[in-house]
């Protein structure tokens, strides 16, 4: 069985405000991290935004008036449809969370891209059993990519 194919578009309108993020988020890295999370062929757009765009999107589509780390818009209407979607990552939120959690910025981005990719495929974490399954899959994928478990707090040793 061959690996799933990924058609990927990466948009970085926040590049001027976040040049260090752009440097970390090469198309090759983003593609590798996302591919690790797909179990079927997919067409995906990943957009890295500032706080203003992140807030507008979250308010418009989720009725929550703040910027969040990642938004997933999945467009498949049935399990038979191809996986298509948009992932929106808010650079300042991701940067703040990585600092608060003591995690490398690239590791946090990789985790959120994996998380969003799973959402695009129908995974969710609204109920405890689904959350446990999703977290387990995320942890396995992150370890396969050479990152640590994203759900284990970083110690202050």
CATH superfamily of 6-144: Metalloproteases ("zincins"), catalytic domain (3.40.390.30)
pLDDT at 92 over 90: yes
Per-residue pLDDT band at 1 (split at 50, 70, 90): low
pLDDT at 12 over 80: yes
pTM of the model: 0.94
Tens of pLDDT, residues 23-66:
999 999 999 999 999 988 899 999 999 999 999 999 999 999 99
Q: Tell me the C-alpha distance between 60 and 12, whole Å.
A: 20
Question: How is the chain split into domains, by residue range?
Answer: 6-144
Tens of pLDDT, residues 99-140:
999 999 999 999 999 999 999 999 988 888 888 999 999 999
């Amino acid at each position: 069985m061959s690996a799933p194919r990924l058609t990927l578009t990466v948009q970085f309108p926040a590049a001027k405000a976040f040049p260090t993020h752009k440097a970390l988020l090469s198309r090759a890295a983003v593609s590798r991290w996302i591919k690790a999370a797909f179990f079927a062929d997919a067409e995906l757009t990943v957009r890295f935004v500032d706080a203003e765009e992140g807030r507008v999107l979250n308010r418009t589509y989720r009725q929550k008036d703040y910027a969040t780390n990642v938004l997933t818009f999945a467009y498949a209407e049935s399990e038979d449809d191809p996986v298509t979607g948009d992932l929106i990552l808010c650079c300042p939120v991701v940067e703040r969370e990585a600092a608060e959690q003591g995690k490398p910025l690239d590791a946090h981005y990789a985790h959120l891209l994996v998380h969003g990719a799973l959402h695009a495929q129908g995974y969710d974490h609204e109920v405890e059993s689904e959350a446990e399954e999703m977290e387990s899959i995320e942890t396995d994928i992150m370890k396969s990519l050479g990152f640590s478990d994203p759900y284990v707090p970083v110690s202050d040793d």
